[in-house]
Amino acid sequence: MPSVSKEIKLLNEALRNIVGIQFVNIADHPNTLVFPSPPPHRCSVCLEVMRPPKFVYHDLGEFLVAYDELTGFMHSYHYMRGTKDGFAGREITLPIVGGSVFRKKGQTKKTYKGSLWTSAEGKAACEEYFGLNSVCVAYKERRKINSCGTSAEINKHVFNKKMNMTGFMNLGGQNQ
């Protein structure tokens, strides 16, 4: 568990990384954020960031979970071992905590083949593992603002703090 001063430093770093907010896909849909007042009651949020998250995953067996403390973003995969149908039969190589390949960083690269996807169960496993709640958002790098947003979760505390800083109330009462 990080010290209080380290937690504040990491929170401030994550807040500085978010430099813009876009409200998109304004619709009445269960996968959109619920806002108590303007902007419109339901929409998706895309955060403009200075740098994208760098995920190093923890292999929990059925789930791969990651949290980038410097950006506040979280990510998870639900993995069905022994299958070969994911990614049209292709492999995906991910950085994993532990191992001996990159000893100085305390990580290795591991190749997965099979069904590997994001899911509500994976999101719950990620939140439980890191002891955090998250909000589903998208993000774009500032230099690539015309690109599509990348789906991710962000630490709910970081999200609400940034929204309060920009004049919005706690908005993460949200997409389950």
Q: 61-77, pLDDT tens digit by residue?
A: 899 999 999 999 999 99
Q: What is the pLDDT of residue 25?
A: 62
Q: What is the pLDDT of residue 86?
A: 66
Task: Assess if residue 126 is contained within a domain.
Answer: yes
Q: What is the mean pLDDT of residues 115-132?
A: 91
On the question of pLDDT at 119 being above 90, the answer is no
**Where does the pLDDT of residue 107 fall: very low under 50, low under 70, confident under 90, or very high at 90 and above?**
confident
Task: Assess if residue 82 is contained within a domain.
Answer: yes
Task: Assess if residue 143 is contained within a domain.
Answer: yes
Task: Assess if residue 172 is contained within a domain.
Answer: no
Q: 4-24, pLDDT tens digit by residue?
A: 788 899 999 999 999 988 877
Task: Assess if residue 171 is contained within a domain.
Answer: no
DSSP code string of the chain:
---HHHHHHHHHHHHHHEEEEEEE--S--TTSEE-SSSS-SEEEEEEEESS-----BEE-SSEEEEEETTTTEEEEEEEETT---GGGG-EEEEEEEEEEEEGGGTEEEEEEESEEE--HHHHHHHHHHHT--EEEEEEEEGGGTTSPPEEEEEEHHHHHHHHHHTT---------
Q: Which domain holds residue 159?
A: 4-165
Task: Assess if residue 170 is contained within a domain.
Answer: no
Task: Assess if residue 37 is contained within a domain.
Answer: yes
Q: What is the mean pLDDT of residues 128-155?
A: 87
pTM confidence score: 0.80
Total domains in the fold of the chain: 1
On the question of pLDDT at 56 being above 80, the answer is yes
Task: Assess if residue 174 is contained within a domain.
Answer: no
On the question of pLDDT at 113 being above 90, the answer is no
